[in-house]
Structure 1
Amino acid sequence: MRVFRDKESLAANPDLWETIDKALRNSRYFILLASPEAAASPWVTREVEYWRTEREQGTFLIALTDGEIVWNDTAGDFDWTRTTALPPTLRGWFSAEPLWVDLSWARDEPELSLRHSRFRFDIATLAAAVHGKAKEELDSEDVRRYRITTWVRRGVAVALTVLLVAVLGLGTRTILQQQETIELGRQALSRAVAAKSEQIGDSDPELSRLLALAAWRVGGAAEAEAAVYQAAARAGVGRIAIDGSVEAVAFSPDGKRLVTGGRDGARVWDTATRRQIGGTIAGSQGVVQTVQFSPEGKTLLTAGQAPSSGEEPFALLWEAGTGDQLVRPAPGAQVASPRLIGNASISAAFSPDGKNLVLGDPDHGVTLWDVTTEKVLHSVSTPQVDPFDRNAVRPSVAFHPNGSQFAAIGSDGAVRFWDTVSGSQVGDPLPAHPGDTASLVGPVIVFSPDGAVFATGGTDGTIRFWDATTRQPIGAPLTGHTRPDRTSLAQSLAFSSDGRTLAAGSEDGTVRLWDVRTRNLVGTPLSGHTRPVTSVAFSPDGRTLASGARDGTARLWNVAGHLQLARPAIEHSGMLYALAFSPDGKTLATGGDNGETVGNHGSMEACSHNGWGVCYVDGGTVAMIGGGQTVQFYRPPGTRLPPSGPPRTLVLWDVARREAVTALPTADRTPVLTLAFSQDGKTLASGGVQTDERKGTIVWDHANRAPRNDPLTDGLALTRAVAFSPDGQVVVTAGLRLDSKPTEVTFWNSGNHVRLGAVEAGKSVYTVAFSPDGSILATGNDQGEVRLWDTGTRQQIGEGLKGHIGPVGTLTFSPDGKQLASAGEDGVIRLWDVPTAQPAGEPMVGHSGAVYSVAFHPDGRTLASGGGDASVRLWNVKARKQVSASHLGHRQPVRAVAFSPDGKTVASAGEDAVVRFWETSAIDHVPEALCQTAQRTLTQSEWQRHLPGVAFTDVCQAR
């Protein structure tokens, strides 16, 4: 008998059904391993339908492995109210009960053996039907074991046994029995749902996260695992759907509540659960276009556009806890004949102490109110080109953070300031943007929390920063926000709580974050809204951003990653080439140059080193070493440059405080290029440019912060790599010689610095790495070759691993030692199977330049990389897929990346002299993180829509 087994014969490809169809056509019997899982599988249903159409009933056999099968003699069919293990497509096919055996009792390995009498009896039942022989003949007392063994040799019983064992836990199936097909179907479905999650992205962040988790739960395809990590890394947290447009958003001072304003009034939401608190506020007053909590959080302000053309714009104060109305400051209280412009609206802002309120509307200009007495303190005006223009816009108003002044910007594009006490205008109007009388909504102004800077957004689509003291512009206008037509919405602006970042809502439905200091765009725009963004607001801790838009949604974004881009954690004196965490995670060592080489002399252009070369100052003279094609100087080579203080090429930092602990005395100004801690954390090794052959790699006592012995002098001009063996007894150094002698990778006793031996691994060695057990040393050289060495014999293991083009600059073993990651000049990350010394899957490609550093997460599932394109990226090892945004916080190439020992942080160091920390804690507990962020699970209707034919599972409760 020939049995088709899809484990060997069936591949997961687009022609899967064609393969199955061919196998079914060539089969004489169909044995269905019945279970609720099989009953729900669309693949099983399709195959059963084929057999029902093309074959006789007598060739269809059933082996029950789980669930129930109940036959109803009266109805002449299965009892479908109680049968759970059969697909519904079998309904009505049999007029008499078909042959089936119950194998659901067999669960353990002894029960799945032909030595087990009951199992052997059931197998004989099926074998008798297939071979057309009496079971007694096959299973008589005298010859049963012999005959069964004979059938095993012929393939019948073996095939059935293997198939049954597979269903009951050992993992192999045949095409006739469907279980492999079920698994392939689940894998295909898993990939499809993962793709859907990625497609949805931040347009519906909750559903995207839950679908990624469902894809992982249902099939566990590599793509699904990658989708889970991608979902966890996305900025979108959740969305709040509201009837009509969302015109305004604001956080309470404690960050626990979010208020939204729109056409149906104002609503207060719990920011954690995104559920509404209480009823709608100001629902009958009109379109709420401004919302704000008072500084102490007890009062809520709503203001906006009147519902009809015969009424005033409104501003209302409410008790924030109860929603009871407190007072209505009438914008036109001191205007003899108030006019209402059809599209008029009102803007408002509390003073920093909450005692005053400034209102701005196109009818009555700007009014300052005393909140306690409900009296108007000052009423000033802003010019309108045509006061009767029905398109007149509201002036945007804001208080200076110290409360001494309030400001407004009107449709003429000018900013005006008034003294809070006297009401007198302070200085001349500041022409910030061109005037525009055609926009429905005017420009906007916002102060930084410290009051040093204010930002304005104009109807011309630009954003400008201004010095609040001198009122002079800071840099050129920021562009990048679109303006499809002249009647579309103006931008909305908000500063982060530390004043370093500005968020801007755009007419294209995106939110952009800007670095206030550099005036550069931070990260990629936040995309999810489908219509213009009307309002943005930061939470008090700055980690969450809220946005409201005309698409009827308010969205919450986790912008912690974006803010990291604008907040360097550590700033070095010069370019950085290396970093290393101490094993306890409390200390970070950084290595670089002293700032003389580039940072203090004409930025990066002072010495342009291509790739792996190093520019530095040698005794006040600019020099270069270690390769590169072009060197450019503002000053000719040999020009002496002034020293810039004591060397700071090797610095130890307190990770928690992000403060320098000490700069180790390297005694010269040459760059430190490589660093490594011993596993016990007691020793630190550093290497770099060696201008004196008597100098070399320094081994430091971490506690005393002093060299333990004389340097390891190995004749290298450039020590590019240093590594400790896992037991800390051996330290290895490698690099480049400038003489004619071969370059060696040298083994040293880390205690007494005695040379133990060496190997020749290429003309120039760029990187070394020990396997976790210390038995293997990997080296990467300038010829694109990775070599593996037995550390006991110091002999090469097999042939070199080839595949890279150009230098291999970084190597790292996975925590279990089974895989080795390599990367270098060609920008490709490759994984190698260590036992076989063969490539492990496809390479990972994404960087647009060289990859200078790679590091495994402690759990081995994620890989971090840093490259010449100034990006830091995270990769899912199983799927070989990038699972994070390309972190573009650095302005120059990223030379080193490292995971903290607890895996919650990636540190990166770059030529821009900055160390940045990236949170990765979510990848440790991804399912929990996704469900916590989504604040719900998939509904059954969502499950059936996206995972048809699969039994419903609560993705947040599974496993």
Structure 2
Amino acid sequence: MTAPTRGLGEHGRVAPYDAFVSYSHRRDRALAEALQSALQDFARPWYRPRALRIFRDASDLTAAPGLWSAIEQALEKSDWFVLMASPDSARSQWCRREVAWWMANRSPERFLIALTDGQIAWGADDFDWAETDAVPPTLAGFFAEEPLWVDMRSVPPERVVAEFAAPMHGRDKDSLTGEHLARRSRIRRAVRSVIAGLSILLVVAVTSAVVALDQRRTAEKRQAEAEAQTRIALSRQLSSQAEAARDSDPRTALRMGIASIAVRPGAEAETALTRTLLGSRYAGSLDGHPTQVESAVFSADGDLLVTADARELDEDGKAPAVRIWDLHDRDRPTLLSAFHPAYRTWAVAISPDSGLLAVAVPAGDIQLWDIRQPSRPVTVGEPMDGPPSDIRAMTFSPDGKTIAAAGYDDNTVRLWDVARPARPRERAVLRTDGASALAFRPDGRVLAVGGSAGTTHLWDVASSGRPVRLPSSMTVGSRDSSSWVRSVAFAPDGRTLALTASDAGYVGEMSLWNVADPRRPRRAGPPVSSGGAAEQAAFGPDGRTLAAAVADAGSSDFRVRLWSVADPVHPLPLGAPLPHRYGADLLARSPDGDTLVIGNADGGVTLWRLTDRGSPRLRSTLRRPDVAQAAAFVPDGRLLTAAADGMLTVWSDEAKPLTALAASADPRTMAVSPDGRKFAVGGGTADAGIVAVGSVDSPARPVAANTGQQNIVDDLAFSPDGRTVAAGSWDGTVQLMNVTNAASPSTIGRLRPGGDDAPPENVRAVAFAPDGKTLAVGSDRVLRLWDPAGQRPIGEPVELDGEAGAVAYSPDGRTLVAAAGNTVRLWDVASGTALGSGALHDSTVRDVAFGPDSRLLATTTSAGQVRLWDLFDRADPRQLGDPRAVGGPSWFVTFSPDGSRLAAGGGPAVYIWDLTELRTLLSDPLASACGLVGTGWTRQEWNRYVSGVPFRDTCPL
């Protein structure tokens, strides 16, 4: 079959387009696109891209300067005109212009109409314009006879296409449609054959792809495993390096621990960082001073710290700086302001009311600054004209009305009256044998002045007249002229004076002096330290501890030591020196005695703690005439205690008893119901056990009930629903009591852990699991589990290391702990397996308690030692800090409902510790560590320590 000749226009020229489609963009864009596609594909041989080339402006126009000229060129090159007729196209100015062009330049025989909407009606020799609204009126008179038009709304799509394709191809409609169908059938058969062949190839390809994909996944899995192992190894290495560097370089150690988490987040790295935090007394760095800081001073409340460097003007003329820091949060110091009083600053002092700052500058001048708004300090008055030499020591009197300043080279101490800071006046000039250290006695009546040859003099400055030097002097260390007094410090009661002195070879001593009679001071005892230099001694707020920096003879590396000076005649070292060495001065000790400020040789200062981080802080001590043997917190924070005299006491947070009432004979144990509404106290005599049940809202009227047990009730526990109390007695039984109505408790069952036929075992510990389905019972050397509902044992007994002292379930129900003898063991409740080998104590463990978050465990012993344990890794509990001592055997320990306090009994007192800092640290060690170090590693530091793991910001803001 020979294909017809196409592409010749009506005048025999080549036409690039077989047809031009004119349509309304608003209504018929989609239909025009569909018609174009169908005409181009109808009866298309498989080897041709299209059967016809149809122009549609949206698909064929390119960017051109004139839109109509481009359309006109397309009309010029088109063989047929197809109008998609509708009222919208009839009104369209573009459709009208296109129709008008065709009417002026082409024949009506090549004008086809596709009706998409509206009406077309033909009259005798033209459109019936009364009925017709789908074609523009400009077509009037164009057709000599009715033109070809197809209603696309009622004719099947394939027929519409055939109607228009046939004249464009120059073929009759039936033969063209038959050819189209035949071609489509052949194509389908060919496609099926190809598909069959391709299916075989596809199976082969898919199989190969599956194999390749599996191999790829295996490779990716191995790569991921290798990367994971690399991260594990790097994280552990960093944690290990952090632990090793903790004492020598704690800031680097913390940053390594932080990076360990960044490399591999998770429990292992967090636990390691927590241990580094808890084991380090580093409390932060204050950066910004370019050279060594010469002086620092705390405000009286400890919330402000002022630091000053003593450098001279640098090449750029930049002056040294005095900086004021906010220390409300000691772990996150904040710089409030910095100013430049002169080209060198030798000493600073803050008035007792924290409103006035004195700054000693060269040539003995002193500037006063108003720091009531520490972020904006302002000068006060004119500088005071001091001694002709530099001032190296300066201090305010306790009443804030006097400033004493020591001239380093002119052997004078000047006193200024600053009661009116804007108009200070010189009050007196004291002549001394050198002046290197100053301190007022706490009452302000005596001034101690330390100077050369290790000598210190006391001055009576109380009288309104001229100050008088008292007759006796004190000498420490060598009397050689090269030996200078480094510090003088009065104890808070003013009766003891600590003096330190050393020479240029770092040889010296520290001594305590009894100055109760300042006219006749006498040495309290032998030197506190000898053979080494001592710097800046400072008493704690209670006067019972003394901190100082001490170096071995001939060494410039100092360590901080702490002494107990409760007995000044026999001072005792408290533990080993802090492990951190430094090569600069100990500058200040905070008023609360917990923080030391130490200057760094290369600028800035470092803060160190004297107490362990997170260490529980004693909050209050509740005292009674008799021994407190049991206690429990209630939801509102009050504490109930039961004493050996049978009295129950309700305490407020101010350590004052609210009420005292009889509870039971010799009370041994106490518990509060989970809903906080009821409490129970157990005790009794060797003949009868007693449980008293009361309402927390009205604790003055507990109801005591004889349990029917034949010996003392030693432990009791509420069920989770608060309706049942289990009371364990020395007669070998556990009594189950219904306490739904606290006013009328009743017995509902009795368990005999050792069995009816065996000798009775003393039941000393009971605890309900959080789901209430299990009751743990410790009796003699055995731990048993019971079903309290069915009153039958669960599983086999567990042998303990000694006589059971206490049992407890963690609030999350995952862990069971039992104390026996001097050992505490943990079990995983789900599997029943033991966790670890057990924590050893130095004496019998009397009680255990979980914190409300199940993370902390507290234990207490017959020797009066209370310990806290971190159970982040339950298989390896870690003790947090040193044991806390109480004043006698401790019988109980308990957490407050919110976990912020811990109470333990010792002798006739109950000690309550604040756990806020510890809980904050444990909940987010990363935030705590970042707060201390300020910033994490830079990219360069990361690349130095970490290889194979992309950089990650370790302390993002």
Return the TM-score normalized by structure 1: 0.64
Structure 1: distance between partners of 2:814 and 2:488: 57
Matched, 1:292 2:287: no
Report percent identity of matched pairs.
26
Matched, 1:183 2:198: no
Aligned to 1:117: none
671, 674, 678: which one aligns with 1:676: 671
729, 734, 749: which one aligns with 2:738: 749
Aligned to 1:357: 403
Structure 1: distance between partners of 2:701 and 2:626: 23
The 3 A distance-change label for structure 1 pair 585 and 760 is: same
761, 765, 768: which one aligns with 2:766: 768
Give secondary structure in 2 for the equivalent of 1:199: helix
Aligned to 1:7: none
Matched, 1:399 2:472: no
Name the stretch that deviates more: 721-730 or 423-432. 423-432
Aligned to 1:76: none
Task: State the 1:699 CA deviation.
Answer: 2.4
Give secondary structure in 2 for the equivalent of 1:877: coil
Matched, 1:862 2:856: yes
Aligned to 1:125: none
Aligned to 2:9: none
Aligned to 1:268: 323
Structure 1: distance between partners of 2:790 and 2:673: 22
536, 561, 572: which one aligns with 2:588: 536
Taking the TM superposition and a 5 Å limit, the aligned residue runs for 1:325-336 are 329=384, 332=387
Name the stretch that deviates more: 232-241 or 459-468. 459-468
- The answer to whether the Cα contact below 8 Å between 1:331 and 1:364 also exists between their aligned partners in 2 is no
Name the stretch that deviates more: 396-405 or 429-438. 429-438
Structure 2: distance between partners of 1:846 and 1:790: 30
The 3 A distance-change label for structure 1 pair 559 and 678 is: farther
The 3 A distance-change label for structure 1 pair 201 and 667 is: same
- The answer to whether the Cα contact below 8 Å between 1:871 and 1:893 also exists between their aligned partners in 2 is no
Matched, 1:758 2:754: no
- The answer to whether the Cα contact below 8 Å between 2:664 and 2:681 also exists between their aligned partners in 1 is no
- The answer to whether the Cα contact below 8 Å between 1:864 and 1:875 also exists between their aligned partners in 2 is no
Task: State the 1:557 CA deviation.
Answer: 4.2
Taking the TM superposition and a 5 Å limit, the aligned residue runs for 1:660-675 are 660-666=657-663, 670=666, 672-675=667-670
- The answer to whether the Cα contact below 8 Å between 1:684 and 1:699 also exists between their aligned partners in 2 is yes
Structure 1: distance between partners of 2:797 and 2:655: 41
CA RMSD of aligned residues (A): 4.3
Aligned to 1:732: 726
Structure 1: distance between partners of 2:198 and 2:380: 87
Taking the TM superposition and a 5 Å limit, the aligned residue runs for 1:152-551 are 160=214, 177-201=222-246, 205-220=250-265, 222-233=267-278, 234-241=280-287, 242=289, 245-252=292-299, 255=302, 257-264=304-311, 267-271=322-326, 274=333, 281=340, 284-285=343-344, 288=346, 290-303=347-360, 317=368, 321-322=376-377, 329=384, 332=387, 346-361=392-407, 363-371=410-418, 372=421, 373-382=423-432, 384=433, 394-410=435-451, 416-420=458-462, 421-425=464-468, 429=472, 431=474, 436-437=479-480, 440-442=483-485, 444-447=487-490, 454-459=496-501, 461-462=509-510, 464=512, 485=532, 488-496=533-541, 503-507=547-551, 509-512=558-561, 526-531=578-583, 533-538=585-590, 544-548=595-599
The 3 A distance-change label for structure 1 pair 896 and 365 is: farther
Task: State the 1:447 CA deviation.
Answer: 4.2
Give secondary structure in 2 for the equivalent of 1:177: helix
- The answer to whether the Cα contact below 8 Å between 1:512 and 1:521 also exists between their aligned partners in 2 is yes
Structure 1: distance between partners of 2:625 and 2:605: 43
- The answer to whether the Cα contact below 8 Å between 1:415 and 1:431 also exists between their aligned partners in 2 is yes
Task: State the 1:954 CA deviation.
Answer: 3.0
Taking the TM superposition and a 5 Å limit, the aligned residue runs for 1:781-796 are 781-783=779-781, 785-796=782-793
Aligned to 1:799: 796
- The answer to whether the Cα contact below 8 Å between 1:849 and 1:869 also exists between their aligned partners in 2 is no
Matched, 1:818 2:792: no
Task: State the 1:495 CA deviation.
Answer: 4.0
- The answer to whether the Cα contact below 8 Å between 2:689 and 2:729 also exists between their aligned partners in 1 is no
Give secondary structure in 2 for the equivalent of 1:248: strand
Task: State the 1:254 CA deviation.
Answer: 6.5
Structure 1: distance between partners of 2:349 and 2:458: 22
Structure 2: distance between partners of 1:908 and 1:525: 30
Give secondary structure in 2 for the equivalent of 1:944: helix
Aligned to 2:948: 949
Task: State the 1:282 CA deviation.
Answer: 5.7
- The answer to whether the Cα contact below 8 Å between 1:295 and 1:353 also exists between their aligned partners in 2 is yes
Structure 1: distance between partners of 2:405 and 2:886: 42
The 3 A distance-change label for structure 1 pair 192 and 453 is: farther
Letter in 2 for 1:651: T
Structure 1: distance between partners of 2:943 and 2:526: 47
Structure 1: distance between partners of 2:521 and 2:201: 96
Of structures 1 and 2, the one with the larger relative CO (CA 8 A, separation 6+) is 1
Task: State the 1:820 CA deviation.
Answer: 1.0
Structure 2: distance between partners of 1:135 and 1:899: 75
The 3 A distance-change label for structure 1 pair 283 and 277 is: farther
Task: State the 1:771 CA deviation.
Answer: 0.6
Task: State the 1:775 CA deviation.
Answer: 0.9
Aligned to 2:67: none
The 3 A distance-change label for structure 1 pair 654 and 808 is: same
Task: State the 1:185 CA deviation.
Answer: 2.9
Letter in 1 for 2:638: T
- The answer to whether the Cα contact below 8 Å between 1:687 and 1:696 also exists between their aligned partners in 2 is yes
Aligned to 2:777: 779
Task: State the 1:494 CA deviation.
Answer: 4.7
Structure 2: distance between partners of 1:526 and 1:839: 37
The 3 A distance-change label for structure 1 pair 473 and 843 is: farther
Letter in 2 for 1:870: Q
The 3 A distance-change label for structure 1 pair 910 and 482 is: same
Letter in 2 for 1:570: L
The 3 A distance-change label for structure 1 pair 202 and 753 is: same
The 3 A distance-change label for structure 1 pair 571 and 706 is: closer
Aligned to 2:641: 590
Structure 2: distance between partners of 1:773 and 1:821: 16
- The answer to whether the Cα contact below 8 Å between 1:542 and 1:560 also exists between their aligned partners in 2 is no
